[in-house]
Structure 1
Amino acid sequence: MHLPEKFQKEMETLLGDEYQAFTESYDRQPENGLRLNRRKVTGEEFLARTPFLLKRIPWIDNGYTYGEETPAKDPYYYAGLYYLQEPSAMTPANRLAPEPGDYVLDLCAAPGGKATELGARLNGEGLLLANDISNSRAKALLKNLELMGIPNIYVTSETSEKLAKVLPEFFDKILVDAPCSGEGMFRKEPRMMADWEQQGPEYYSKLQREIILDAADMLRPGGKLMYSTCTFSELENEGTIQYLLEQRPEMKLIPCAPYEGFAKGRRGLEDCVRIFPHRMNGEGHFLALLEKEGEPGKRKNTTKRSSELPAEAKEFLEAWGMYRKEWQYYLREDRLYALGKKDGMPENLRYLRTGLYLGDCKKKRFEPYQALAMALDGNGENRIHLNREDPRVIRYLKGETLDVSDLDLKKQKGWQLVCVDGYPLGWGKLANGSLKNKYYAGWRWQ
């Protein structure tokens, strides 16, 4: 691989005696990573079922590497059991480690690799605001969050400046995986070298400084902020953290949970973490974990969304165990959303999704949406269970009608949750041994 000459000189200065080992790492193939969805499956359960040859990533408790397999073309992928992600990129969300009940912001979230882990850790409690300034990228982000079955989400496409104005000191945990020059991804994505030569660290550092100040202003006292990039540049990494500490003295750098392969930060910021491909089986990454000093005040509750729940929707949700008196339900045109408890989220943002999209209310009937299927589990009645090797699984994912007359369905009829090995895939409607396919067309197996 022919690395840009300017980049080589900068890395030689940065690494000194380690530079040769660093350049030799570019002759090795990048690792393929797979991170389990902790909301749906444990490592023990997955390893007992998966056909893939996996190897644990030692610093990520739910991360694995795989070889030449194609896990994106597998029913378990469509069941939301895992997300395909480069091993080093798993680290920021893992080390931020939000807990159920936290209010969490992923500020630069698309396509969702880190947001899906943050949301899974919440386990349905608290909220996740996943934002990306690009509307098209935010749509891909939304799909991945819904595929993973994460219910307590808001997805927006806003600038950090706009969010900071309407959500001051609102979040307990914030992840800023900042736009960067991408030096750490040259091995995996060589095309990024051309982008680097056109827009390098100087261009991105200006954006990063604006974004990180806005993020700090949205963090509650006592909360934690994780800043990460996939670049090696000191200007973009330690330089951005130095700028934050100067501009926001209430922010303090704190240590991340350690791993033997981590390298220390530069410029006296040793609690920062650097990941180099010659030290660890991953691409280049930078992490800085910060805490905001002070005592948290009371959040401003500005939520006004609330609608009367139509009787047919309430009946359906009660039957499937998804009705809660304490939840807010929001009906927009025919679409019904569950917002959970009053959470203080404002209305004046550009939302792609507010809460869990439950389904559509149409002429005294309720039609459940795909996201609701993914948020359920495989236990209970009105489930059609197929095993992974059954050819009907792929046919279902392609949108075909299925003959299920051979299954013991105990006179089931109407809406059914189709599951692979106990994990939901989507909806179907059963009548006389035939299942009319209701799998969401936009997600179908191609």
Structure 2
Amino acid sequence: MAHISENFIQHIEQQLPDHIKLEEFIAACQRPLRKSFRANLLKTDTQALQSLFEAEGYQLTPIPWCEEGFWVDESHKTLPENLGNWLPHLQGQLYIQEASSMLPVKALLHDFDYSSQSTFLDMAAAPGSKTTQLAARLNNQGQIIANELSSTRLKGLSHNIQRCGVVNTALSHNDGTIFGTATPEYFDAILLDAPCGGEGTVRKDEQALNNWSLDKVVSISELQKELITSAYHALKPGGRLVYSTCTLSQEENHAVCQHLLTQFPDNVTIKPLNDLFEGAEKAATSEGYLHVFPNTYDCEGFFVACFDKGNAMGAAKENNHNRTQTKVGKFSKISDKNFESVNSYSQIFGWDLSPIKANLYTKTLRNGSEEVWLLDDAMLTFNNTLKLNRFGSKLFELNKHGPKIQHQAITSFGQELTKQSISLNEKQAQEYLQGRDIFLEDSSPPKHKEVIVRFNGVSLGLAKHLGNKLKNNLPRDLVRDNIFTQL
């Protein structure tokens, strides 16, 4: 059972809204957290994943603010602790995510006029739950910069983006406070899920409120004020800003928002969230924010505020990139010869590259071979302004033997690759992700040896068909042990 600092109890008692009783709040903090997940719409649909869980004997409750999100009722059957090793999770069909943390993306896109050319910033993105949720909601359109200051967390962010088939996102490794000056008025929408004291996570982390102090709260609120000011300056006129935390104290929530409103009283308006979803009024504040306590919806504590930036600062700046540019840094626009080569090759898999030709680039390696990348022009231009850590998708390698499709192309564009695929059973799919070769009863290889292997219609990766077996071509860093196919 979580130990809650008496100092925190005395502090929060003074801030609880009238409808939240202290005893009910403390009791909720002591209860285990309900498990929740979200269907990844880039790899599956909500109904299919729901049926998969229900077929395994689980009862699901829809999350009111996320159409693809569910709570799992474990009163009948408990989820395994290592759910991340479940095959559909490794395939990217679901994201294990706390329910309340699904709120910011809902608020960001609600009644907001965005397009396939819109630019988004996730200012503190790791481990990637909100980035991947946003990318799925955008159907991989637009451009997302996912920023993370911690280098250790950046790798996990990258892994989740690739696992979920996200291709419209670049990774940035910068201090969030620099965006306001480095990229002024650049983004159409910004999500700032700020570093915070984590008071709302006590149901998951029993130590979260053990050594609480007001000094720590005040100290981190100063950083939050710097970040929200930076976000404002990086936002285009007419843009949308969502500020959120997984903490409860007003010093890190309401006071930070008030700091923004006080700084820019004539150019920031609150977008009320009272009607964001059915039942939102239970968490709505008088200002129009959502202040979720652990007993409000039986989930983690959370805070969400939404702001619209006015046009008083002037016209929005254009993203000054030249779509006819032929060379940017190490990348060059793909030549007609190379395009014909890779497009002819990709037809083997039923994939026509013509719709994405304008965004195909080649990169020449020191050994003389080349790689073909899918790159957004806006990302290339942004990289010249503020260096990105990782961006683009490597689709092919070109060497003396011709093109070779890459793993990221298969997992990201699997639904478009309609030919040269083999469906695996549960045992075979498990063995494939463990890095093993797959032995076949059918000894008749297809016309081309390279084949895509799938499980339940979702692409796993590439293999070489050698007649009596499939030689495993899964990248070594993706090999996993302890994989299971049934919950």
- The two structures have a TM-score, normalised by structure 2, of 0.84
For 1:29, the aligned partner's letter is P
Aligned to 2:352: 321
Distance 1:24 1:400 in 2: 49
The aligned amino acid for 1:430 is: H
Q: Which amino acid aligns with 2:458?
A: Y
Name which of 39, 43, 46 aligns with 1:43.
46
Task: Using the TM superposition, give the Cα deviation of residue 440 of structure 1 relative to its aligned residue in structure 2, in angstroms.
Answer: 2.2
Once the two structures are superposed, residues 67-95 of structure 1 have per-residue CA deviations (whole angstroms, 9 ceiling, x without a partner) of 32233222111111110001111111122
Question: Mapping of 1:147-226 within 5 angstroms?
Answer: 147-194=163-210, 196-197=212-213, 200-226=216-242
Partner of 1:299 in structure 2? 319
Moved more, 8-17 or 232-241: 8-17
Render the CA deviation track for 1:171-213: whole Å, top value 9, x for unaligned. 1111000000000001211233356449721121111111111
The residue matched to 1:150 in structure 2 has which SS?
coil
Unaligned runs of 5+ in 1: none
Shift of 1:300: 2.5
* 2:485 alignment counterpart: none
Matches of 1:348 and 1:330 in 2, distance apart? 21
Give, in whole Å, the separation in 2 of the partners of 1:199 and 1:81. Answer: 42
Cα distance change, pair 199–120 in 1 and its aligned pair in 2 (3 A): farther
Name the structure 2 match of 1:366: 403
Distance 1:243 1:171, change over 3 A: same
Of all paired residues, the percent bearing the same amino acid is 27
Partners of 1:435 and 1:424 lie apart in 2 by: 15
The 1:181/1:318 distance shift into structure 2, 3 A limit, reads: same
Q: Is the CA contact 2:186–2:236 (under 8 Å) kept in the aligned structure 1?
A: yes
Partner of 1:232: 248
Residues 329/265 of structure 1: CA separation in 2 closer, same or farther (3 Å cut): same
* Local SS of the residue matching 2:363: strand
Moved more, 75-84 or 348-357: 348-357
Q: Deviations over 1:213-251 (max 9, x none)?
A: 111111111111110000011111011101111223312
Counterpart contact for 2:66–2:103, Cα < 8 Å: yes
The runs of at least 4 aligned residues of structure 1 exceeding 6 Å deviation read: none
Decide which of 355, 363, 376 is 1:331's aligned counterpart: 363
Partner of 2:91 in structure 1?
79
Partner of 1:436: 471
> Does residue 301 of structure 2 align to residue 284 of structure 1?
yes
Deviations 1:280-338 (A, max 9, x none): 02100000011111153422227863414346545444553345222142526354421
For 1:348 and 1:137, how far apart are their aligned partners in 2? 23
Corresponding residue of 1:381 = 419
Which amino acid in the other structure matches residue 290 of structure 1? Answer: F
Aligned CA distance change for structure 1 residues 442 and 218 (closer, same or farther; 3 Å): same
Tell me, in whole angstroms, the C-alpha distance in 1 between the residues paired with 2:115 and 2:459: 23
Preserved contact between residue 328 and residue 342 of structure 1 (Cα < 8 Å): no
Q: 2:149 and 2:219 mapped to 1: Cα distance?
A: 17
What residue identity is the alignment partner of 2:316? P
Partner of 1:142: 158
Q: Is the 8 A contact 1:88 1:284 kept in 2?
A: yes
Query: Gaps spanning 5+ residues in structure 2: where?
Result: 482-487
1:96 paired residue number: 108
What is residue 79 of structure 2 aligned with on the other side? 69
**283-292 or 56-65, larger mean C-alpha shift:** 56-65
Instruction: State the SS of the aligned residue for 2:178.
Output: helix
Q: Distance in 2 between matches of 1:335 and 1:199?
A: 52
Aligned with 2:435 (options 399, 406, 424): 399
Distance in 2 (alpha carbons) for counterparts of 1:43 and 1:130: 25
**Cα distance, 1:12–1:429 mapped onto 2, change above 3 Å:** same
For 1:270 and 1:245, locate their aligned partners in 2 and report how far apart those are by CA, in whole Å.
12
Question: Are the aligned partners of 2:232 and 2:241 in contact in 1 as well (CA < 8 Å)?
Answer: yes
Aligned residues of 1:105 and 1:128 also touching (Cα < 8 A): yes
The alignment partner of 1:192 has SS state of: coil
TM-score w.r.t. length of structure 1: 0.91
Q: Is the 8 A contact 1:209 1:240 kept in 2?
A: yes
Which amino acid in structure 2 is aligned with residue 142 of structure 1?
S
Paired residue for 2:484? none
Q: Structure 1 322/195 Cα, relative in aligned 2: closer, same or farther at 3 Å?
A: farther
Q: CA RMSD in A?
A: 2.4
Report if the CA contact (8 A) 2:183-2:385 is conserved: no
Looking at structure 1, the residues matched to 388 and 402 of structure 2 have their Cα atoms a distance apart, in angstroms, of 26
Q: After superposition, give the CA deviation of every residue in 1:391-446 in whole Å (9 maximum; x if it has no partner).
A: 11100000001113439x77243222211110111121222232111112222222
Distance 1:172 1:332, change over 3 A: farther
Aligned with 2:403: secondary structure?
strand
Q: Using the TM superposition, name which of 269-278 and 42-51 deviates more.
A: 42-51
